[in-house]
């Protein structure tokens, strides 16, 4: 696996290192990039790892460049990994609309043609990229997961489906019930087919409502000035069983942008570190 991993960039930042890698994905059948922040390895030889999943139209660069997370991560001794949001390339299926296809993988395993040939983002993150992180990069510490918008949906779904692996979940402006909002309906119908029963295992609102395993603490931040709040996001539909450690914070005046993420990212990292 080592020979398949190419280091594209490396930058010193806040007593840590920001890297960007490329590799050929056997799961997605295309070249993929991901970014990784490592704190000072002399101080933190086996850091805990937080996965960040980005939203529609984003790549692994958006969070790396805009969130301002490296300073706090360096202080807390946390590693951060940022995968891309979908398979990419000339041979990969795409759509003319920005909310489907490349840049809009929705972190599911597609079952419908032509998407099923490449769009296996869940398996890519949970299995293939995980193996690279552990076996090639040597990161074997405890893990948690977070994300934004479509990536918030992905973080919630992956975290809830793997409660014995991830110690905490957090999200900014997540799509919490994709089965019932336009973005999710469009993507799920394309990737998973018309049978809505097949959608339930990819819908955080349904996974949480029926969750009976190990509780994974969840922190959700949502801006009240978010243009997508009422039609696409609907955080009120994320309802946990009684006693479940879920905290939803409505942040007055904040929108859907990375200005919102940068405003509260330190608090999210502290939340994760507490549970890691």
Give dist(CA 168, CA 143) in Å, integer: 8
45-61: average pLDDT = 97
Instruction: Encode pLDDT of 28-39 as tens digits.
Output: 999 999 999 999
Please report which confidence band the pLDDT of residue 4 belongs to, taking 50, 70 and 90 as the band edges: confident
pLDDT reported for residue 161: 97
Active site residue 149: yes
170 is catalytic: no
- For residue 95, indicate whether it is catalytic: no
Q: Is the pLDDT of residue 2 over 80?
A: no
Q: pLDDT digit string (tens) for 231-261?
A: 999 999 999 999 999 999 999 999 999 999 9
> E strands along the chain, which residues?
6-13, 16-25, 30-38, 48-53, 78-83, 143-148, 166-172, 218-223, 246-251
How far apart are alpha carbons 229 and 175 in whole angstroms? 9
Spacing of C-alpha 8 from chain mean position = 22
The active-site residue out of 148, 256, 268, 272 is: 256
Is residue 167 scored above 80 in pLDDT? yes
pLDDT at 213: 85
The per-residue pLDDT for range 188-215, each reduced to its tens digit, is: 999 999 999 999 999 999 999 999 889 9
Say if residue 187's pLDDT is above 70: yes
Cβ-count burial of 180 within 10 angstroms (0-12 exposed, 13-18 middle, 19+ buried)? middle
pLDDT tens-digit readout, 62-120: 999 999 999 999 999 999 999 999 999 999 999 999 999 999 999 999 999 999 999 99
Indicate if the pLDDT at residue 3 is higher than 70: no
Mean pLDDT of the chain: 97
Which tokens hold the place of 50? 């937080």
Query: Under the phi-then-psi rule, with left for phi > 0, alpha for psi from -120 to 50, and beta for the rest, what region is 87?
Result: beta
Residue 24: predicted pLDDT: 97
Q: What is the pTM of this model?
A: 0.97
6-274 folds as Rossmann fold (3.40.50)
Residue-range domain boundaries for the chain: 6-274
Banded pLDDT at 59 (limits 50, 70, 90): very high
Query: Of 48, 149, 170, 173, which is the active-site residue?
Result: 149
C-beta separation of 156 from 169 below 8 A:
yes
Which residue among 84, 94, 221, 226 is the active-site one? 226
What integer pLDDT is reported at residue 1 of this predicted model? 44
């Amino acid at each position: 696996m080592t020979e398949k991993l190419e280091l594209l960039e490396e930058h010193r930042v806040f007593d840590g290192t920001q890297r960007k890698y490329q590799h050929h994905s056997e799961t997605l059948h295309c070249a993929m990039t991901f970014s990784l922040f490592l704190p000072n390895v002399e101080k933190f030889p086996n850091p805990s790892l937080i996965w960040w999943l980005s939203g529609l139209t984003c790549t692994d660069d958006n969070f790396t460049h805009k969130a301002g997370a490296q300073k706090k991560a360096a202080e807390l001794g946390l590693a951060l990994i940022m995968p891309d949001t979908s398979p990419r390339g000339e041979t990969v299926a795409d759509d003319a609309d920005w909310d489907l296809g490349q840049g809009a993988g929705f972190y599911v395993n597609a079952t419908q043609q032509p998407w099923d040939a490449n769009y296996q983002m869940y398996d890519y993150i949970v299995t293939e990229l995980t193996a690279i992180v552990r076996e090639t990069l040597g990161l074997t510490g405890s893990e948690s997961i977070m994300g934004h918008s479509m990536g918030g949906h992905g973080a919630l779904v992956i975290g809830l489906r793997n409660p014995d692996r991830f110690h905490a979940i957090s999200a900014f402006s997540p799509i919490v019930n994709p089965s019932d909002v336009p973005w999710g309906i469009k993507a799920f119908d394309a990737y998973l087919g018309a049978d809505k029963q097949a959608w339930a295992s990819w819908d955080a609102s349904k996974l949480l409502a029926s969750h009976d395993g190990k509780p994974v603490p969840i922190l959700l931040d949502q801006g009240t000035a978010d243009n997508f709040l009422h039609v696409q996001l609907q955080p009120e539909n994320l309802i946990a069983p009684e006693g479940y450690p879920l905290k939803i914070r409505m942040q007055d005046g904040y929108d859907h942008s990375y200005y919102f993420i940068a405003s509260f990212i330190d608090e999210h990292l502290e939340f994760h570190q507490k549970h890691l």
